[in-house]
Amino acid sequence: MSAVTTGRMPRRRATPPRDPRPAAERPLETEYRPAVPIDALRAVRHQRHGAHDPTMTIAGDVLWRVSRTPAGIATLALRIGRTRIRAAAWGPGAAWALDQLPRLCGADDEPEGFDGARHPLIADIHDRHPDLRLGATDLVFDDLASAIFEQKVTGLQAFGAWRAIVTWHGERAPGPTPQPMFAPPADWHLIPSWAWHRAGLEPPQSRTVVASARRRASIERAVVAAADGEERERILTSLPGVGPWTSAETRIRAFGDPDAVSVGDYHLCHTVGYALTGRRVDDDGMLELLEPWRGHRQRVIRLIYAGGVFEPRRGPRLHPEDHRDR
């Protein structure tokens, strides 16, 4: 398959020269041209789980991403520009991944109605990054699982545990990846307890992943069918071990929710407070500051990060704890 996607509608390209490789090894290819220039690289890269994520890597000018789609595993190789994204995909989920590519790049994110002029800093960053978009994976459970990994621990711990579990219990990516890459496990609930412990994930998080995985199909159906972010929030937070932070992170990753706010994040309220007032605030103070942008609160947060506005560090970094027996 070879096509050009302009906006949302594909168009057939001229038939390329015959590929001598066996059919099973040939990629499907497409070219996506957004209706307006967008920062697709930032949108896709936001889905990465640390520098050594086995599901995503960047080699030269190509971003590689592996996912477990509803149609099976897919490997994407993306050359990303602001006006053109060239993609090749391998695996049984290749067609699904290419069809979903515009959403992954942020095509369905609608910044209309966003008023950056409410604050001079946000106005300035928005002027410098008018192409910022929020991408969506449409892969609810794996995004929920990754968010659960990141509950109440440092990023270093969470990303290390994610890398270990996905590498040990995931499935090897199809295609000519630049290094061994893996899709998330198909059966999270069958991962033995010793593997979670060895990976360094704490028992509350591993139990939450396993319990949720046993209800995976019903969770995905309910969340996808939900009418809006508030209903998705209600469904997700009804799961044992899933609170507002995990729900927000899941909605941001899976649906590109432009209004989700990860309340309870160790650093986020301090970052928002410092950017908008020059001082730290707590979660309630952060929500008060973001209220004028309701409907686009996640967009404001992403603009703050895009602008590189961070509070100077005043103390030592939080040291990771390791409760494993040695």
What does the DSSP assignment read for 192-238? -HHHHHHHT--HHHHHHHHHHHTTHHHHHHHHHH-SSHHHHHHHHHT
Give phi and psi for 91, each to the nearest 5: 100, 170
Domain count, the chain: 1
Query: Looking at per-residue confidence, does 49 or 7 come out higher?
Result: 49
16: domain range? 2-113
Q: Is 10 exposed, middle or buried (0-12, 13-18, 19+ CB in 10 A)?
A: middle
Residue 80 in any domain: the answer is yes
Helix axes 140-149, 203-213, angle to 10 degrees: 170
Taken in order 193, 194, 199, 204, is the CA torsion positive or negative?
positive
Average pLDDT over residues 50-55: 96
Q: Which residue has the higher pLDDT, 287 or 155?
A: 287
Is the CB of residue 236 less than 8 Å from the CB of residue 145? no
Q: What is the pLDDT of residue 315?
A: 56
The answer to whether residue 292 is domain-embedded is no
314 Cα distance to chain centroid: 30
Domain assignment present for 17: yes
More confident residue, 200 or 5: 200
CB 175 within 8 A of CB 75: yes
For strands 28-33 and 2-6, give the pairing. Answer: parallel
Q: For residue 51, give the CATH number of its domain.
A: 3.30.310
Q: Tell me the residue type at 8.
A: R
Please tell me which of 217-221, 307-311, 322-326 the model is most confident about, judged by mean pLDDT: 217-221
pLDDT tens figures, 53-78: 999 999 999 999 999 999 999 999 99
Residue 300 included in any domain: no
**Comparing C-alpha atoms, which of 160, 228, 229, 223 is closest to residue 196?**
160
Confidence of residue 155 (pLDDT cuts 50, 70, 90): confident
* Helix segments in the chain, DSSP class H: 40-45, 94-104, 120-128, 140-149, 155-169, 193-199, 203-213, 216-225, 229-237, 244-255, 268-277, 283-290, 297-306
Model confidence at 216: pLDDT above 50: yes
270-321 tens-digit pLDDT: 999 999 999 999 999 999 999 999 999 999 999 999 999 988 876 555 545 5
Which DSSP string do the residues of 80-128 spell out, in sequence order? Answer: E-SS-EEEEEESTTHHHHHHHHHHHTTTT---TT--GGGSHHHHHHHHH
Q: How far apart are CA 198 and CA 218, in angstroms?
A: 30
Compare 224 and 11 and report the one with higher pLDDT.
224
Residue 4: which pLDDT band, with cuts at 50, 70 and 90? low
